[in-house]
Amino acid sequence: MRPSTTPPAAGAGPGLVVLGIDPGLRATGWGVLALAGSGVSSAEREELTVLGYGAVTTDPAVPLAERLRRLSLGLREVIGRWQPMEVAVEEAFVAANKRVAIAMGEALGVALLAAAEAGLPVFEYSASEVKQAVTGYGRGSKEQVQEMLRLQLGLEAAPQPADAADALATALCHLMRRRAEARLAGAGSLLGGRA
């Protein structure tokens, strides 16, 4: 079983590489973004690159333990291929359906374990935080998220499947937060130097 992928972008340089994960038992979406340059000074230009995205899928007819193993193997393969420095995961939400909530929690556990086994720091974001960062509205639809990703990331088409788009959105949300932190730290050091 192999995760679906898109080809790597040409010219992806060094920088912060983030793996976004949208955990699900049927499909766990993943997306890898790289941010080169800090953007703190006007002389340094930031470059955001989509390295790849896709989904690790499982068959509902397969026993649960095997499905979780396949998710783990797929995520390990993604981590091995793209060598991210940080992982951003969409938190499991409280579903009205107890069975759905349990399945999401199991998939989230697999994602957290895969990141921990690789020694990667994990950052969790709620679905509304991710939508707010990408669409400017915390209750944006999946279609709005996909279209905003297409525009913000310069993609020819909206990312598919929706699970992969949610994973890319989670990675983008994390990079936006890291960018803001870097700018604040840079501004703080500039202000500190004047005193």
Among 81, 109, 82, 88, smallest CA distance to 24 is for 109
Among 158, 154, 170, smallest CA distance to 115 is for 170
Catalytic residues: 22, 90, 163
Please give the Cα distance from 121 to 41 (Å, whole number): 27
Please give the Cα distance from 44 to 186 (Å, whole number): 13
Please give the Cα distance from 151 to 156 (Å, whole number): 9
Q: How far apart are the first and last CA of the chain?
A: 59
Please give the Cα distance from 125 to 105 (Å, whole number): 14
Please give the Cα distance from 140 to 194 (Å, whole number): 42
> Which secondary-structure segment (H or E) carries 16?
strand 16-22
